[in-house]
Amino acid sequence: MSGPPGSVLFVCNLNAVRSPMAAGLLARRFGRTVWVRSCGVRPGEAVDPLAVEVMDELGVAIDDHRPTAFADLDDDNFDVVITLTPEAHHYVLDRMRTSAAEVEYWPTLDPTEDDGTRARRLETYRTVRDALDARIARRFIAPST
């Protein structure tokens, strides 16, 4: 565990579910004290509506998020880069070989693979959201208020 870094990037495959959720959760915890962004190996079409819904339950708005590809980032100078999928991890390691950033791999379930009822799918999204939130809480200590 350590305090918050200055900047964190979350990377998944399409930047439409897991990485925007993680970025929103970190921003909720640290506000403007940490510069947080998210991206994908390649950009998805739009943020997933079920991700928006479960994040809204916590008061975290990600509905205005626009998926971005790693290659399209304006700045790739981050203190910590957290990858959420095997594809993203290999992609980032290959492209950030000379970077001083800490790269961490947090294997994260893809909730879009659940093809059950809407209620069951929402539970899967909540499980992913809550697991990311717990991991963020363990990894980064929030400043005292």
Question: What is the model's pLDDT at position 1?
Answer: 47
Q: How far apart are CA 28 and CA 59, in angstroms?
A: 9
**Domain boundaries in the chain?**
7-137
Q: What's CA 75's distance to the chain center, in Å?
A: 17
Neighbours of 5 (CB within 10 A): 17
Q: Which residue has the tokens 């990600």?
A: 62
Q: What is the CATH number of domain 7-137?
A: 3.40.50.2300
Contact 12, 40 (CB under 8 A): yes
pTM of the predicted structure, to 2 decimals: 0.94
Question: What is the model's pLDDT at position 2?
Answer: 58
Residue 3: pLDDT over 70:
no
